[in-house]
Amino acid sequence: MLFSSITFLYVFLPFTILLYFFVPQKGRNFVLLVMSLLFYAWGEPVYVLLMLAQIVISYVLLWFVDRFRGKRAAGIFYILSVLLPFAALFYFKYFQFFMDVVFGIKTKTIALPIGISFYTFQIVSYCVDVYRGRVARQKNLVTYAAYVTLFPQLVAGPIVRYSEIERTLTKGIDFSAFHENFERGVVRFAVGLGKKVLIANVIGEFVAEVAALGTRDLVLSWAYAVAVSLQIYFDFSGYSDMAIGLGGILGFSFPENFRYPFISGSVTEFWRRWHITLGAWFRDYVYIPMGGNRVCMPRWILNILVVWLFTGLWHGAGWNFITWGLLFAALLVVEKGAGRVFAGRKSTAGSIDGKRFSKKNLTGAAAGILKHGYVVFVILVSFLIFHNDSLADAFSDIQSLFAQGSRIAQDAGSVERAVFAYVLRNRIVILCIGLIGSTPLPFWLWTKLRERLLTCRIGDRAVHVLMGLMVLGLMVLCTAYLIDGSFNPFLYFRF
């Protein structure tokens, strides 16, 4: 079931909220579990059994871990609790690719369970944290199952750790801040829905139109690259906003997943702003256990390569995803490696990290423009690799950015040029909206307006009225688009 569907918006969600708050606190986790299973079974009626089996198995194995704590058997059960979810993930997501690449054996296509990458990482993080004593084992199976299956973030993240929502699951909603959190949740959900339906879907239509042309000119090639990146960003960040908003409505506080990644001044900063919970998961459960940056340079480079190889594979079993991950690994090694080298050299001014080193050589506004231009170019190229199903198609799209390759209409006639101009002109407004919406400018303007309104005598009431009108307007527009349109994909369902 999609968040951006009429069924979810006007049937499933209202009924779930009413039922959730109608039952006593002791029954709310059960309501969450049942409704989350219904939400998942709507699109995966068979694989819901796989998810339930993984929940029960990990619950039992952790019971044995606690039962034999301090003994060798506890370590064995812990290893099983981590390996079995990954084994299921490997079979459904990577087995076919592995057999084809390693042994050259073509196997029958295996359907990928929706959201398996997300809930596998949540189960594994919980098992690791319980074994290491970071959180207490949840003895109530319903509560544990509600954590894993929690429908707002079940199929698309953010990746939520048990410790981040343990209090609400075990002690209930904090009603002292409930009204404020509920209101923020509604606004956040509406904004996320607008990003998904009104921006990502419309830009996605432009992407599909350009791809269907077969050929394009240089300007349209760059517009296409920008559109691909914006579609992926608004599609995924919109879903994350909706998940965080739904969490707030139900009394949970989910971690942020995006913080305006396109304003980054380096690739390192980009990955502190993009899919934050995934990066934090790999940092805490892979990178740091391998030694992080507290090792010699060759081992540190290996750590980076391993983490980003896994990051690429997490998104999909394909050479495009592997290349995408290793591309960022190479760029991060260069950026962070320069910082490590210069940090180790003493000067009269003290240690110099990568950021200060770049400012020393290219000062002022020029340095900022060059750094940002470099990051934007890397993002555009990387998401062309990410977006395509094959490296050959990705390479053709990248070539077209330089007026090369089969994508470029070298001898375009007047009719073709007119078509290219028409397609771009027809979508230029939504591309501009997307570019502006990917920066902090809209939020900054709203903050300034809110501050100005709050200085008035009825400012607080005016703010609430404006927020209500905004939510109502977004819901009406999104509903109209969903009823009238048929283009409503969700890119991250394949992960």
Catalytic residue, candidates 179, 275, 315, 372: 315
Residues 6+ apart with CB under 8 A from 489: 201, 204
* Cα distance between residue 322 and residue 316, in whole Å: 8
Residues 6+ apart with CB under 8 A from 224: 207, 210, 211, 216, 397, 400
* Cα distance between residue 358 and residue 368, in whole Å: 10
Query: 3-state SS string over the chain?
Result: CCCCCHHHHHHHHHHHHHHHHHCCHHHHHHHHHHHHHHHHHCCCCCHHHHHHHHHHHHHHHHHHHHHCCCCHHHHHHHHHHHHHHHHHHHHHHCHHHHHHHHHCCCCCCCCCCCCHHHHHHHHHHHHHHHHCCCCCCCCCHHHHHHHHHCHHHCCCCCCCCHHHHHHHHHHCCCCCCHHHHHHHHHHHHHHHHHHHHHHHHHHHHHHHHHHHHCCECHHHHHHHHHHHHHHHHHHHHHHHHHHHHHHHHCCCCCCCCCCCHHHCCCHHHHHHHCCHHHHHHHHHHHHCCCCCCCCCHHHHHHHHHHHHHHHHHHHCCCHHHHHHHHHHHHHHHHHHHHHHHHHCCCCCCCCCCHHHHHHHHCCHHHHHHHHHHHHHHHHHHHHHHHHCCCHHHHHHHHHHCCCCCCCECCCCCHHHHHHHHHHHHHHHHHHHHHHHHCCCHHHHHHHHHHHHHHCCCCHHHHHHHHHHHHHHHHHHHHHHHHHHCCCCCCHHHHC
Q: Is 315 an annotated catalytic residue?
A: yes
Give catalytic residue positions: 315
